Amino acid sequence: MTLDEECKDCLYNSQMKKVTRECNNGAKLAEFRARVRELCKNPPATYCAPLLMRDIDGVHRDIFGSGIDYSAEKAMFNSAVLSMEQGLFSTLMQSADPLAGAIKYAAAANYIDFAKLSDLNADSLSIVEQAAGRARPSESTLAMLKQRLARAHTLLYVHDNCGEVVFDKIVIRVIKQLYPRVNVTSLVRGGEIINDATRRDADFIGLAEYAAVEDSGEAIPGTYLKELPPRVIKLFKDSDVIISKGLGNLETLYGEGYNIFYIFMCKCLHIAKRFGLEQWQTAFIYDGVQGE
């Protein structure tokens, strides 16, 4: 998906707010502000939001010597959701439709996004729970996913942000319980970028107990196919089922020719309009060949 004007303003405002709050060097902050403003004003015509965010982080590395640090936020959300994991998993497995319930929470948890919302805290989990209660996954898409999983041997799950990656882990646990022959591979980011999940986060939340963990090889808050190493492209080509989480992955993967189930929240107005939904509504859609 091409870069929307909304994305430029959103990324500029959220990252400036974060860096301004933590920087005590006025000269460096002014340089960062000027360079990021110029980036957002004149990005390449072929760009999407994840590539612009990578460049913003690159400017921070150039000026401050490191990327924008979200380690504290990542640790807080991973720990907070881990404390909920077993109770929620048990509740879902006792429900009438465990997979539908797990998808509701996974979609709602896409709210945990510091590229869009820079002031999130542990109290934001109450918003996630409320959004999960309102979520209504598409029945036809859910039925299609169940049909595919029933005959699948391999599932590729493409992760997005921290905190919500624990809800993704719950989806994977539910799938493993309902479809035990499915082997799951989890794809995380290849380096630190915003609050996106990396191998370190996967280790912290114990994801490898339920899935083989791979990384994208790139520190991009999305899955940009043109820069993925061959081993990752092979995962996309060989997996029987693919589930993609979050807007960064949607913006880099949608319409690229793979059969993918997308779970996300319409945090951005242009995304909501693109799919005929309301802003802040959860979404569960499929892009691919219907009859496969």
Same domain, 16 and 134: no
Same domain, 157 and 94: yes
Same domain, 179 and 208: yes
**102: domain CATH number?**
3.40.50.10880
The answer to whether 176 and 182 have CB atoms below 8 angstroms apart is yes
Q: How far apart are CA 185 and CA 7, in angstroms?
A: 30
Residues with Cβ within 8 Å of residue 45, at least 6 apart in sequence = 2
Total tally of structural domains belonging to the chain = 2
Domain that residue 130 falls in = 71-287
Same domain, 59 and 42: yes
Q: How far apart are CA 254 and CA 288, in angstroms?
A: 9
* Residue range 60-114, pLDDT digits in tens: 999 999 999 999 989 999 999 999 999 999 999 999 999 999 999 999 999 888 6
Query: Would you say residue 292 lies in a domain?
Result: no
Query: Would you say residue 123 lies in a domain?
Result: yes
* Residue range 13-53, pLDDT digits in tens: 989 999 999 998 999 999 999 999 999 888 888 899 999 99
- For the chain, give the mean pLDDT: 93
Q: How far is CA 103 from CA 85, 93, 283, in A?
A: 14, 13, 10
Sort 25 into a burial class: Cβ within 10 Å, 0-12 / 13-18 / 19+.
exposed
Rounded to the nearest 10°, the torsion over CA 279, 100, 110, 75 is 160
Where a domain ends, among 24, 46, 64? 64
User: Whole-model pTM?
Assistant: 0.94
DSSP strands (E only) in the chain: 154-158, 183-188, 212-215, 241-245, 260-265, 282-287
Residue 261 tokens read as 């189930």
